[in-house]
């Protein structure tokens, strides 16, 4: 079996663009951001003041015992500074909590909405598992980035500036030089090594998403896997991705250990140098014991968060990589978009016309070729033909999942590209051949056609689709859960639920894409009678395989190879003796043979 090779993750990225994308969501809460930053500065000023009061206390207590006096002012200042640092730090966190969570909520909602604005082509190409993991990691990355940017990086930078200023004004320039030099070496080392390590992290993310996508795809297709006995193959395919991820994870961890060791060495050198200068100053009589305590306290305050800053910087780079993948979803352009001056469709009687429509999903493969069809308001057009003739493509183009390559589709003589997608789709109800249901109750799935409908309206739609009696025979009735993609229901039951929710939507245009193909003959005849009554005043497009279901259609079009080869009523086409008459004869023979075998 062919196995797709997984290469390394791409190394190109634009962190600045990622931050620019994030900024508008954060600035929505600009007053909270401003107040949080003000609290941050006040807290840091108070924190930097603590060693100054501590120095005064130590110096006051270092004089001869006969002159010893309790340094009340210094002790009170120390306590107030400690309290202010703590209170304003907590206030900053409380103010910024809404900013972080609000930004995450808005971005996640924007991504979710944008995904639904993208074309069907995008969703046919996507891998659900990998995409969901990208969104999950991206939202977590936003929370990490905002919290540590405001709570760690900015406070540390403010503190470095203030401490450097104090050392420069109070002591020899060597103190400030050693402090800034250590920080500069530390930052440069962290930057270079972290950039090198990012390749492993991005590779881990890419492999993790692919492994997750394959796992979810296999679980969704559980029955297919079991049919062909490919459990071992799926497990091995999943494990191959995990093995690649394991290799990248080990490299990531080893490089992290190297980074931590290097950072520790740089900090030890800086701390030792500053303590040496302080001790030398005391020996020479240019500094007091209180000055040594002051420098030591600043070292503790400064290098502890600076050491943590290395971790924060690494994780921020990781978060940016995670966010980048999510924001790429926002940058995906919508293939089908409303025009600037799009009109809103509002009608109860819709005439549909396909005018010389050309279309192909790919440039090298033409699906529809010069297709012209006319469905007068309130009439029914049935389209028949062999598989691959382009029948179902008509419904996708009418619903505007795709735009035509040439020609036009018109409703009441208005090109549907000139209509808003929302108003267009509100006027069309589709019952697809392959019905997919939500993993919720039967009631929820029927009511999905019109979420604001009353319970009586939902039940009436179920009666019209001949599913009410079946639902009432279930132990939980309408609140029976249908399972993932509706797998707990049979094909016929799922299709009747789909018919019911389309009837509940009550649109002026109906499309039945082989809507009764999964039903038994008895149920099919009953529903066909209902559909005929429902379609009486609606513009209806029926895509059918069984010709017996469309004999009463106002017009029948026969398609072959993407072209319309015959049109007419059932009687006209039979009398013509062409392609439709041959299809009718073969189906009648097949049905007669099935009836004979059943008897």
Distance from C-alpha of 187 to C-alpha of 306, rounded to nearest angstrom: 9
Q: What is residue 442's three-state secondary structure? A: helix
Model confidence over 190-200: pLDDT tens digits?
778 877 777 77
pLDDT band (50, 70, 90) for residue 235:
confident
Question: What does 239-296 look like in DSSP terms, one character per residue?
Answer: HHHHHHHHHHHHHHHHHHHHHHHHHHHHHHHHHHHHHHHHHHHHHHTSS-HHHHHHHH
- Which tokens in the block code for residue 238? 């999943």
Q: Does residue 34 contact residue 97 with C-beta atoms inside 8 Å?
A: no
What confidence tens digit (pLDDT) does each residue in 123-177 have? 666 666 667 777 777 888 888 888 777 777 778 788 888 887 887 787 778 888 8
Alpha carbon distance 533, 170 (integer Å): 94
562 backbone dihedrals φ, ψ, rounded to 5°: 85, 5
Band (pLDDT 50/70/90 cuts) for residue 307 is: low
CB atoms within 10 A of CB 402: 18
- Give backbone dihedrals phi and psi of 365, rounded to 5 degrees, phi first: -130, 110
Question: What are the pLDDT digits (tens) for 75-88?
Answer: 787 788 888 888 88
Q: What is the DSSP letter of 334?
A: P
Could you say which of 3.30.300.30, 1.10.1370.30, 2.60.120.10, 1.20.1560.10 is the CATH number of the domain covering 15-331?
Answer: 1.20.1560.10
Q: What is the pLDDT of residues 216-230, one digit of tens each?
A: 878 878 777 877 778
What are φ and ψ of residue 285, in 5° steps? 85, 10
Backbone angles phi and psi of 369, in degrees to 5: -135, 105
The rounded distance, in Å, linking the Cα atoms of 306 and 259 is 14
Does residue 275 contact residue 295 with C-beta atoms inside 8 Å?
yes
- Can you say whether the dihedral through the CA atoms of 27, 311, 301, 272 is positive or negative? negative
* DSSP-assigned letters across all residues of 158-182: HHHHHHHHHHHHHS-HHHHHHHHHH
Q: Cβ distance 272 to 32 under 8 Å?
A: no
Q: Are 394 and 402 in contact (CB under 8 A)?
A: no
Q: Smallest Cα–Cα separation from 318: which of 208, 197, 213, 188? A: 197
- CB-based contact 352:544 (threshold 8 Å): no
Q: Among 151-155, 221-225, 296-300, 569-573, which is the least confidently predicted range?
A: 296-300
> Whole-angstrom Cα distance, residue 401 to residue 540?
18
Task: Determine how β-strand 539-543 pairs with β-strand 380-385.
Answer: parallel
Quick one: average pLDDT of 473-483? 88
599, pLDDT greater than 70: no
Report the half-sphere exposure of 478 (CA within 13 A, side-chain side): 15
Section 88-105 average pLDDT:
84
pLDDT at 347: 85
Judge contact between 378 and 425, C-beta under 8 A: no
Residues 557 and 564: their CA atoms lie apart, in Å, by 7
Query: For residues 278 and 69, which has the higher predicted lDDT (pLDDT)?
Result: 278
Alpha carbon distance 93, 252 (integer Å): 31
State how far the Cα of 204 lies from the Cα of 224, in Å rounded to an integer: 29
pLDDT tens digits along 510-526: 888 876 665 666 666 66
- The gap between the terminal CA atoms of the chain, to the nearest Å, is 45
Cα 410 to Cα 398: distance, rounded to the nearest angstrom:
9
Nearest CA-CA partner of 141 in 306, 310, 327, 12 = 327
pLDDT-derived band at 410 (thresholds 50, 70, 90) equals: very high
Average pLDDT over residues 293-298: 75
3-class SS of residue 214: helix
Q: Which of 270-284, 392-406, 512-526, 551-565 has the lowest mean pLDDT?
A: 512-526
Sign of the torsion angle spanned by Cα atoms 528, 531, 537, 541: negative
Q: What is the pLDDT of residue 355?
A: 92
pLDDT over 80 at 570, yes or no? yes
Confidence (pLDDT) at 250: 84
- For every residue of 494-519, DSSP letters joined together read HHHHHHHHHHHH--SEEEEESTTTTS
Are 302 and 164 in contact, with CB atoms under 8 Å apart?
Answer: no
């Amino acid at each position: 079996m062919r196995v797709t090779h997984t290469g390394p993750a791409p190394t190109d990225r634009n962190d600045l663009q990622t931050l620019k994308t994030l900024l508008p969501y954060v600035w929505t809460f600009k007053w909270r951001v401003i107040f949080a930053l003000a609290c941050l500065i006040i807290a840091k000023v108070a924190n930097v003041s603590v060693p100054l009061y501590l120095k005064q206390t130590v110096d006051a207590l270092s004089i001869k015992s006969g002159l010893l006096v309790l340094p009340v002012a210094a002790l009170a200042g120390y306590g107030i500074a400690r309290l202010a640092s703590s209170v304003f730090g907590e206030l900053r966190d409380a103010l910024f909590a809404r900013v972080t969570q609000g930004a995450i909520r808005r971005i996640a909602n924007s991504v979710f909405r944008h995904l639904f604005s993208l074309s069907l082509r995008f969703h046919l190409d996507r891998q659900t598992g990998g995409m969901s993991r990208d969104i999950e990691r991206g939202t977590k990355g936003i929370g990490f980035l905002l919290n540590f940017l405001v709570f760690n990086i900015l406070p540390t930078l403010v503190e470095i500036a203030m401490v450097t200023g104090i050392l420069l004004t109070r002591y020899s320039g060597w103190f400030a030089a050693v402090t800034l030099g250590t920080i500069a070496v530390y930052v440069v080392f962290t930057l270079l090594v972290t950039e090198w390590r990012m390749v492993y992290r991005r590779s881990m993310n890419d492999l993790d998403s692919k492994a997750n996508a394959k796992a979810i795809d296999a679980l969704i297709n559980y029955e297919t896997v079991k049919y062909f006995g490919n459990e071992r193959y799926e497990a091995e395919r999943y494990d191959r991705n995990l093995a690649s991820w394991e290799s990248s994870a080990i490299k990531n961890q080893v490089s992290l250990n190297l980074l931590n060791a290097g950072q520790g060495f740089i900090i030890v050198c800086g701390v030792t140098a500053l303590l040496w200068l302080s001790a030398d100053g005391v020996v020479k009589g240019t500094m007091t014991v209180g000055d040594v305590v002051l420098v030591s306290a600043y070292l503790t305050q400064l290098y502890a968060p600076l050491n943590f800053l290395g971790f924060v910087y690494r994780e921020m780079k990781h978060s940016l990589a995670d966010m980048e993948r999510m924001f790429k979803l926002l940058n995906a352009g919508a293939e089908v978009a409303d025009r600037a001056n799009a009109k809103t469709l509002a009608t109860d009687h819709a005439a549909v016309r396909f005018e010389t429509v050309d279309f192909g999903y790919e440039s090298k493969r033409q699906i529809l070729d010069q297709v012209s069809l006319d469905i007068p308001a309130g009439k029914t057009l049935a389209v028949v033909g062999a598989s691959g003739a382009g029948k179902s493509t008509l419904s996708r183009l009418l619903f505007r999942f795709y735009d035509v390559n040439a020609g036009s589709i018109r409703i009441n003589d208005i090109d549907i590209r000139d209509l808003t997608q929302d108003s267009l789709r509100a006027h069309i109800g589709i019952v697809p051949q392959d019905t997919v249901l939500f993993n919720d109750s039967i009631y929820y799935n029927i009511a999905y056609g019109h979420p604001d409908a009353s319970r009586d309206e939902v039940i009436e739609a179920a009666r019209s689709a001949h599913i009410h009696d079946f639902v009432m025979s279930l132990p939980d009735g309408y609140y029976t859960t249908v399972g993932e993609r509706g797998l707990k229901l049979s094909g016929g039951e799922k299709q009747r639920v789909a018919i019911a929710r389309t009837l509940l939507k009550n649109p002026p245009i109906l499309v039945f894409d082989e809507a009764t193909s999964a039903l038994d003959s008895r149920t099919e005849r009953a529903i066909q009678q209902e559909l005929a009554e429902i379609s009486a005043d609606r513009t209806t497009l029926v895509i059918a395989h069984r010709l017996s279901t469309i004999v009463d259609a106002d017009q029948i079009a026969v398609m072959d190879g993407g072209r319309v080869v015959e049109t007419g009523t059932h009687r006209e086409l039979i009398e013509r003796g062409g392609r439709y008459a041959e299809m009718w004869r073969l189906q009648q023979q097949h049905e007669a043979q099935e009836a004979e075998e059943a008897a």
